[in-house]
């Protein structure tokens, strides 16, 4: 084992990469015990961490996720939160959110998705959520997108001071599902209804055909071809009615 590998394991911030299977764990949560990711087979999951209970940025994020939970559920996606605080702290914090906190027009917000107790930091270390350059005992704001086959598909990390953009988290989820469903790629700032990208041509013949065939594709050059994908078609295939 190389020295860099040893030091990385010692400080506990190795992380799963895109395409890896999501590391397995069993944990106590505010919704009972879970076995991850096996309990979520067949579903997309957003596993996200926050630094600490009873902190304002985390409170704003949990309220927003809870407010959007049904929207994510209609896209076949479950939410699972984590911090290194204990179960009773979690329960007290979530009760405070429901009873006392109002943010961005949201109030009386009940967090129904599981919040993992991780006092030992076992799960946080498995997922590279503890990054000593930022904080040695608090998890950064990590977001893992895990697909129905328990494969890590995307990872976003934010520092402790920066609240997440939930429009982008939802957009990324829908974009990945669209890519899977229609075998396309999505360009910068893509939203359902925008044109999608076709994979670059793999041969000279295909490249020439694309440049002369104007039925379905719009080709800026042989390697850059787009096509229209109706918004209703995307949402009908992905979003539960």
Q: Three-class SS string for the chain? A: CCHHHHHHHHHCCCCCCCCCECCCEEEEEECEEEEECHHHCCCEEEEEECCCCCCHHHHHHHHHHHHHHHHHHHCCEEEEEEECCCHHHHHHHHHHHHHHCCECCECCCCCCCCEEECCCCHHHHHCCCCCCCCCCCCCCEEEEEECCCCEEEEEEEECCCCCCCHHHHHHHHHHHHHHHHHCCECCCCCCCCCCEEECCCCCHHHHHHHHHCCCCEEEEECCEEEECCCHHHHHHHHCCC
Whether 204 is a known active-site residue: answer no
141 is in an annotated binding site: yes
Catalytic, out of 58, 77, 219, 225: 58
Measured at the CA of 43, the angle between CA 41 and CA 44, to 5 degrees, comes to 120
Q: What residues are labeled active site? A: 58
Q: Which residues are annotated as a binding site for substrate?
A: 141
The annotated binding site is made up of: 141
């Amino acid at each position: 084992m190389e020295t860099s590998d040893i030091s990385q394991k010692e400080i506990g911030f190795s992380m799963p990469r895109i395409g890896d299977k999501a590391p397995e764990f069993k944990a106590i949560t505010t919704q009972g015990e879970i076995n991850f990711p096996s309990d979520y087979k067949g579903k997309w999951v957003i596993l996200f961490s926050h630094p600490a209970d009873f902190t304002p940025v985390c409170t704003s994020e949990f309220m927003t996720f809870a407010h959007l939970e049904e929207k994510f559920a209609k896209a076949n996606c479950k939410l699972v939160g984590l911090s290194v605080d204990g179960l009773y702290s979690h329960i007290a914090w979530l009760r405070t959110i429901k009873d006392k906190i109002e943010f961005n027009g949201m109030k009386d917000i009940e967090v129904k998705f599981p919040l993992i107790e991780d006092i030992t930091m076992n799960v946080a270390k498995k997922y590279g959520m503890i990054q000593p350059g930022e904080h040695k005992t608090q998890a950064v704001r990590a977001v893992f997108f895990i697909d129905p086959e328990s494969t890590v598909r995307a990872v976003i990390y934010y520092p402790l001071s920066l609240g997440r953009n939930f429009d982008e988290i939802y957009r990324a989820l829908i974009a990945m599902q669209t890519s899977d469903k229609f075998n396309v790629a999505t360009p910068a700032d893509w939203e359902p209804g925008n044109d999608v990208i076709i994979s670059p041509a793999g041969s000279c013949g295909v490249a020439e055909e694309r440049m002369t065939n104007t039925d379905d594709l719009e080709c800026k050059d042989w390697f850059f071809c787009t096509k229209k994908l109706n918004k209703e078609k995307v949402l009908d295939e992905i979003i539960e009615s």
